[in-house]
């Protein structure tokens, strides 16, 4: 429907548009012709004024040059020129020696300079004085007459017979310009200028007019065919959109916003006469009802699985606590120092595993990894609590950001820290330990560093080669990274994989 209406009305709209453009072009051509005719008419009136005054001044200049001027010659010239200029007579006749023979001299700032009276073109623009000077020199070049025209007089002379509104008249002579009308042409609309020669001294008259701005009616007359074509196409598009496209858009939006478990009713607020679209909406509703039913069943099964997993975690935690309690009971019953130390060593490792399990159980509901900062903090507290009396003041400093690690990494990390703690405690119970964890640049691994004066080579060598060396090597293999050792400073470092970048830079 939209394509048929558009193609049927487009030729008529194009024909009407071209007719409007041709009418506007014809009006523009007529306006340009009228402006050019008016400019030529004004230039001819100025030329006639200058020619008449020049003829009168030529007679007077010849009389003064020949010495035949009578006493009333100057008065008659003043009266003649004043009658042509509405009572104003600005002219001066000078001899070669500078004497004023007739008329009156203008101020030096406005008049032609004394050394330039006998040189220059017949007509000369004086933009600074806002005057035009007409020069007539006697045949013997001993007398010169200069007639001065003001802007108001020239505007009256050049006033065209056709009363153009908002016109501006400007005289141009080379680079010199003199505006003789004060019409303001600022505002909207295109500025049109026409130039016509005056005929004296290369002076030309430029007439400028500001065309009226395009009104809304002119724009409507030009765009009416296109508006009609667009309106017809829009009506067809509205019908198609209302009956077909909008129901399809609503159906697509409802399907895009669909979440599993919801019942989809895409056309509940839309009415369409298209039976196919309505049937498609009913099909989506039936499918969503089936999916919602299956989602409810799966949610119930998942909830049962979570309860079962929580029960398993709880029983494992209780079993670890029972084992730790049994070890503690046996340790109390032992009398040999070696047996007591052995029980304490076993209990520390069971406690380390219990700490890992508790942290894994706490974060398993959110499907996150184990927070290594919480793990190390709880493990440090447990190790200090099970330390012998001579190592109760063994200080453990922790500098660790919040990182997430998996349980497969947490278990060897906990055992590694336990082994290093016990190794340092055996070497020097009065020393302390510093544990730090920092992520690397790519954020996939973190560096675990354990530093203690008690882990220097000269202190731990007797204990390290007994059993700790093999245990530490096995734990580093589980972490799939080499365990670097600084024998002089007493430090161990190993890279461990992490799950997430640090989210909190707070230090413990």
Name the strands in the sheet holding 396-400, side by side, starting at the edge strand that comes first in the sequence: 396-400, 433-439, 445-451, 491-497, 484-486
Is pLDDT of 505 > 50? no
Q: What is the DSSP letter of 113?
A: P
Which range scores top for mean pLDDT: 5-9, 74-78, 447-451? 447-451
Nearest to 160 by CA among 38, 253, 17, 317: 38
Instruction: Give pLDDT, residue 200.
Output: 83
Task: Locate the domains of the chain by residue range.
Answer: 2-210, 229-288, 334-497
The dihedral through the CA atoms of 216, 221, 223, 227 has a sign that is positive
Is pLDDT of 457 > 70? yes
What percent of the chain shows pLDDT beyond 70?
79
At 291-345, the pLDDT tens digits run: 878 878 888 888 888 788 777 777 777 777 777 776 766 666 666 776 666 766 7
Nearest to 147 by CA among 158, 136, 159: 136
Backbone angles phi, psi at 95, to 5 degrees: -90, 170
Q: What is the band of 437 on the pLDDT scale with cuts at 50, 70, 90?
A: very high
Report the distance separating Cα 421 and Cα 413, nearest Å: 12
Across the range 470-478, mean pLDDT stands at 85
Q: What is the band of 184 on the pLDDT scale with cuts at 50, 70, 90?
A: low
SS3 120: coil
Q: What is the band of 502 on the pLDDT scale with cuts at 50, 70, 90?
A: very low
Structure tokens at 286: 């039936």
Q: What is the band of 211 on the pLDDT scale with cuts at 50, 70, 90?
A: confident
Report the distance separating Cα 292 and Cα 301, nearest Å: 14
Is pLDDT of 13 > 80? no
Q: What is the band of 111 on the pLDDT scale with cuts at 50, 70, 90?
A: confident
Is pLDDT of 485 > 70? yes
Residues 12/13/15/20 CA torsion (nearest 10 deg): 140
Instruction: Give pLDDT, residue 492.
Output: 92
Please state whether beta strands 123-126 and 370-371 pair in parallel, antiparallel, or not at all (unpaired).
unpaired
Name the strands in the sheet holding 191-197, side by side, starting at the edge strand that comes first in the sequence: 176-179, 167-173, 204-210, 191-197
**Buried-state track 283-299, b at ≥16 Cβ within 10 A, e below 16:** ebbeebeebbeeeeeee
Is pLDDT of 506 > 50? no
Is pLDDT of 218 > 70? no
Across the range 116-141, mean pLDDT stands at 88
At 43-75, the pLDDT tens digits run: 888 888 888 888 888 888 888 888 888 888 888
Across the range 376-388, mean pLDDT stands at 81
Is pLDDT of 449 > 90? yes
At 130-166, the pLDDT tens digits run: 888 889 998 888 899 998 888 888 888 888 766 566 6
**Its pTM surpasses 0.75:** no
SS3 assignment for 178-229: EECCCCCCCCCCCEEEEEEECCCCCCEEEEEEECCCCCHHHHHHHHHHHHHH
Fold classification of 334-497 is Heat Shock Protein 90 (3.30.565)
Instruction: Give pLDDT, residue 183.
Output: 66
Q: What is the band of 249 on the pLDDT scale with cuts at 50, 70, 90?
A: confident
Q: What is the band of 507 on the pLDDT scale with cuts at 50, 70, 90?
A: very low
Instruction: Give pLDDT, residue 456.
Output: 86
């Amino acid at each position: 429907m939209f394509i048929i209406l558009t193609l049927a009305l487009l030729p008529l709209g194009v024909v009407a548009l071209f007719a409007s453009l041709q009418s506007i072009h014809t009006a523009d051509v007529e306006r340009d012709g009228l402006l050019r005719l008016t400019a030529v008419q004004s230039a001819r009136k100025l030329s006639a004024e200058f020619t008449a005054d020049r003829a009168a001044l030529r007679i007077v200049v010849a009389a003064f040059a020949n010495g035949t001027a009578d006493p009333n010659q100057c008065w008659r010239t003043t009266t003649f020129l004043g009658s042509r200029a509405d009572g104003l007579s600005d002219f001066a006749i000078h001899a070669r020696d500078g004497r004023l023979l007739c008329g009156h001299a203008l101020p030096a700032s406005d008049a032609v300079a004394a050394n330039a009276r006998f040189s220059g073109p017949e007509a000369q623009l004086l933009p600074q004085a806002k005057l035009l000077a007409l020069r007539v020199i006697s045949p013997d070049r001993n007398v010169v007459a200069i007639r001065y025209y003001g802007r108001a007089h020239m505007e009256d002379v050049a006033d065209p017979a056709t009363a153009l509104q908002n016109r501006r008249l400007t005289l141009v002579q080379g680079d010199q310009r003199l505006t003789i009308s004060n019409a303001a042409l600022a505002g909207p609309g295109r500025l049109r200028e026409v130039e016509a020669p005056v005929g004296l001294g290369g002076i030309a008259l430029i007439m400028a007019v500001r065309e009226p701005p395009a009104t809304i009616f002119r724009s409507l007359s030009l765009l009416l065919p296109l508006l009609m074509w667009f309106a017809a196409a829009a009506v067809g598009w509205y019908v198609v959109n209302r009956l077909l496209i909008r129901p399809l858009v609503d159906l697509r939006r409802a399907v895009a916003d669909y979440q599993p478990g919801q019942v989809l009713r895409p056309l509940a607020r839309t009415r369409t006469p298209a039976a196919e679209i309505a049937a498609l909406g009913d099909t989506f509703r039936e499918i969503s009802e089936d999916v919602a039913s299956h989602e409810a069943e799966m949610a119930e099964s998942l909830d049962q699985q979570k309860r079962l997993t929580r029960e398993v975690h709880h029983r494992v935690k209780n079993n670890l606590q029972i084992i730790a309690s049994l070890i503690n009971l046996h340790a109390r019953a032992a009398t040999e120092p070696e047996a007591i130390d052995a029980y304490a060593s076993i209990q520390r490792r069971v406690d380390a595993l219990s700490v890992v399990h508790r942290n894994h159980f706490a974060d398993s509901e959110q499907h996150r990894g184990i927070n290594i900062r919480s793990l190390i903090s709880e493990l440090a507290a447990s190790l200090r609590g099970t330390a012998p009396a001579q190592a109760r003041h063994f200080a453990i400093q922790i500098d660790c950001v919040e990182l997430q690690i998996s349980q497969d990494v947490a278990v060897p990390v906990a055992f590694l820290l336990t082994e290093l703690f016990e190794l340092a405690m055996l070497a020097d119970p009065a020393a302390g330990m510093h544990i730090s964890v920092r992520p690397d640049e790519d954020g996939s691994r973190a560096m675990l560093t354990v530093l203690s004066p008690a882990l220097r080579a000269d202190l731990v060598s007797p204990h390290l080669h007994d059993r700790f060396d093999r245990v530490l090597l096995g734990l580093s293999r589980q972490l799939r990274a080499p365990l670097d050792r600084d024998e002089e400073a007493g430090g161990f470092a190993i890279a461990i994989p992490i799950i997430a970048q640090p989210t909190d830079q707070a230090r413990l």
